[in-house]
Amino acid sequence: MINGTVVDLSRAQFAATALYHFLFVPLTLGMSFLLAAMETVYVTTGKPIYKQMAMFWGRLFMINFALGVATGLTMEFQFGTNWSFYSSFVGDIFGAPLAIEGLMAFFMESTFVGLMIFGWGRLRKGQHLAVTWLVALGSNLSALWILVANGFMQDPKGAKFDPVTMRMHLTSFQQLIFSPDAQSKFVHTSIAGYVTGAMFIAGISAFYMLRNRHMDIAKRSFRIAVLFGVLATIGVVTLGDALGFVDAQAQPTKLAAMEGLWKSTPAPMAFNLIAFPEQAKQKDVGAVRVPMLLSLLVTHSLSGTVPGINTLEQQAAQKIRNGIPAVEALKALSRDPQDAAAMAQFRAHRADLGYGFLVQRYAPRLSQVTPAQIERAAKDTVPPVAAVFWSFRIMVALGLMMMAFFVLATLYSLRNRIQNKKWILKVAVWMIPVPFLANEAGWLVAELGRQPWTVYGVLPTWMSASTHSVGYMVFSLIGFVTLYSIFIAIEMYLMIRAIRIGPGEYDDDGAAPLLPRPMLAPRAQPAVPYGGNLEG
C-alpha cells in the first residue's frame, strides 16, 4: 500500500503547482479576447490609438503568457511522475484531451502569439486581426481540452472499466467532450478568465487616470474593459449556477459540502449564508440561514430537495458493500482471466467498483471487512466540508463584489464621468487581485470537493499516487514552490516595469516604432552594384 504521507505530499505538490499556474491562465484567457476587441476597433475605425492600446496590452499579455506556459509544463509531467497508477488506470481516456491541449497550446496558440507580437508592421491590418482572434480562440480552446479532462475526473462519462486489461477504456469520445460537467466547467472557467482580464485592464487604466497619464488610452481601455467585465460577470454567475445544478446531479457530496448540509431536510431548504462546519461532530456552528433559498438555488424550485451528508453516507455504505464483491472478483480475474464465475460476479457489482477500492484502504483482506471499516470508508466519501464551504462563499462573494463594481464603473464610464470619480478609480486599482483570489477559491471548491476521489466514484485518491519516498516528495515540493515563487516575482517585476513605462508613442498613422533588432540578425547594407569592384 502507498504511504499516506506520500499521497498527501503528491496532492500538495499538484495543488501548489496548479494554484500557481492558475494565477496566469485566466488572465491569458481574458486578455486575449480584450486584445481582439481593441484591435477590431482599430481595424474597423482605422484610429491609431487602438493599435497603440492593442500593442501595449499585448506586451503585458505576452509577459503573462510566457510565464503561464512555463508553470503549466510541469503539471502535465506530474501525471506520469507522481500519479502513475492514475495515469495507467485512466490514461486511455485522459491522454487524448491532454495531447490535444498540448498540440493546441504549442502549435496553434504559441505560433499565433509569435505572429501577434512580432507581426505588427509586417502583416496587413486584417491579417493581424485574424491572428489576434486566433490567439484568443487558441488559448481558450486549449483550456477547453484541459477542462474536458477535468470534467471526466468530476463526472466520468464515455468510459468503462475493462476487467481484462485492468484499466478504463474510452467508449464514447462524444460523451467525453459533451459531458454536462465538462461543458459547464469550461464556460464558467473561460468566462471567469474574461472577468480577470477585464479587471486587470480596468485597474491599470484607473491607475493611469488617477495619475493623469496616458488619458486617451486609459479612458478607452477602461470603457472597453468595464463593458467586457460587466457582461462577463453576469455570465460567470449564471454559468456558475449551471455548474452547481450539474454538480447536484453528478457530485452530491461536493454540493452538500459547499452548502454545509449535514442532514437531509424537507423542502423548501434553507441556505447557510454563514456557518462554521465541524466535520467530526457533523454540525454547523453559528449558522445564519436564509429560508427557502437553497431549494431555489440548487433545484430552481421551492419543492426541490438535495440529500444531506447523513443520507449520502448511508448510500455510500451500501455502495461499499456492493463494491466489495466487484474488487474480490477482480482479484480472481487477475489470477485467471478465464474465470467465468468471477466475471459474472464482477459484472453484477461493477457499478460500485470504486467504492470497493475505497474500503480496501482499511481492510486489505476484503473477506474479513468489518461494519466499522465500512462506516469509516463511508465517512471518507465526504470532502473536507469547512474548506469547501468557505472557498465557495469567498468565490461567490468576490464574484458579486466584482459585478457591483463593473455595473457602477460602466455607468460612470458611459456618462463620460469616470475620470472625475477618483474614489471608483482607486477602488478599481485595489480590485485587481480580487478575480485572482476568486479563481483560486473556485479551483479549491472544484478539486477539494471531489475528494476522496481522483475520478469521482471510480478511483480513490489514496490508490492513484506513485510509490515515491517521502524525502523525494519533500525535496521536489520545496523545489517547485521556490521555483514558482521566483516566477511570480519575475512576472510582478516585469509587469510593474512595463506599466510604469506605459504605452509607447506612435506615429499619427499608427505606424509602429522600429522594433529592436535581434543581435545576430544581418544588418541591412547599402546596395553595391556588382560592377563596383571592377570600377575601382
Partner 1 sequence: MRSFLYFVLFLVIAILVTVLTAILGDQGAWYFAWLVGTTMIVLVSAAGGAMLDANEENAAQNPPPVEHRHSGAGGAE
Q: Which is nearer to partner 1, 102 or 180 (CB)?
A: 180
Q: How many helices (H) and strands (E) does the chain have?
A: 20, 6
Identified binder of partner 1 from the candidate list 47, 283, 289, 379, rule CB under 8 A? 47
Candidates 58, 421, 44; CA nearest to 217 is 58
What is the full DSSP assignment across 392-423?
HHHHHHHHHHHHHHHHHHHHHHHTT-GGG-HH
- Piece of the chain touching partner 1 by CB under 8 A; list 19-27, 65-73, 234-242, 359-367: 234-242
Residue 279, burial from CB neighbour count under 10 angstroms (0-12, 13-18, 19+): middle
Q: Which is nearer to partner 1, 238 or 301 (CB)?
A: 238
- Piece of the chain touching partner 1 by CB under 8 A; list 149-157, 346-354, 411-419, 452-460: 411-419
From the CB of 54, what's the least distance to partner 1, in Å?
11
40 contacts partner 1 (rule: CB under 8 A) = yes
Please give the size of the binding site for partner 1, defined by CB under 8 A: 38
From the CB of 345, what's the least distance to partner 1, in Å?
36
H or E element, residue 306: none
CB atoms near residue 201 (< 10 Å): 30
Q: Which is nearer to partner 1, 417 or 422 (CB)?
A: 417
User: Which residues, 6 or more positions from 66, have their beta carbon under 8 angstroms from its beta carbon?
Assistant: none
Identified binder of partner 1 from the candidate list 37, 60, 327, 438, rule CB under 8 A? 37
User: Which residues, 6 or more positions from 494, have their beta carbon under 8 angstroms from its beta carbon?
Assistant: 63
Binding mask 122-141 for partner 1 (x = CB under 8 A): ------------------x-
When computed from its CA atoms, the radius of gyration of the chain, rounded to whole angstroms, is: 27
8 A C-beta contact, residue 461 and residue 11: yes
From the CB of 93, what's the least distance to partner 1, in Å?
18
From the CB of 229, what's the least distance to partner 1, in Å?
8
232 contacts partner 1 (rule: CB under 8 A) = yes
41 contacts partner 1 (rule: CB under 8 A) = yes
33 contacts partner 1 (rule: CB under 8 A) = yes
154 contacts partner 1 (rule: CB under 8 A) = no
From the CB of 365, what's the least distance to partner 1, in Å?
46
Identified binder of partner 1 from the candidate list 1, 4, 45, 106, rule CB under 8 A? 45
Show the 3-state SS of 8-73.
HHHHHHHHHHHHHHHHHHHHHHHHHHHHHHHHHHHHHHCCHHHHHHHHHHHHHHHHHHHHHHHHHH
245 contacts partner 1 (rule: CB under 8 A) = no
416 contacts partner 1 (rule: CB under 8 A) = yes
157 contacts partner 1 (rule: CB under 8 A) = no
Binding mask 206-225 for partner 1 (x = CB under 8 A): -------------xx--xxx
Identified binder of partner 1 from the candidate list 191, 316, 353, 463, rule CB under 8 A? 191
8 A C-beta contact, residue 429 and residue 207: yes
Distance between CA atoms of residues 494 and 407, nearest Å = 31
What DSSP state is assigned to residue 162? E
Question: Hey, what's the cell of 433?
Answer: 487581485
From the CB of 210, what's the least distance to partner 1, in Å?
19
Identified binder of partner 1 from the candidate list 57, 186, 208, 456, rule CB under 8 A? 186
Distance between CA atoms of residues 472 and 337, nearest Å = 37
CB atoms near residue 485 (< 10 Å): 12
Any idea what the Cα angle at residue 176 is, between residues 173 and 179, rounded to 5°?
Answer: 140
Identified binder of partner 1 from the candidate list 414, 478, 496, 511, rule CB under 8 A? 414
From the CB of 25, what's the least distance to partner 1, in Å?
16
Phi, psi torsion values for 186, nearest 5 degrees: -65, -50
H or E element, residue 383: none
Distance between CA atoms of residues 136 and 132, nearest Å = 6
Q: Catalog residues that contact partner 1 under the rule CB under 8 A.
A: 33-34, 36-38, 40-41, 44-45, 47, 50, 140, 174, 177-178, 180, 183-184, 186-187, 190-191, 194, 219-220, 223-225, 227-228, 231-232, 235, 239, 242, 413-414, 416
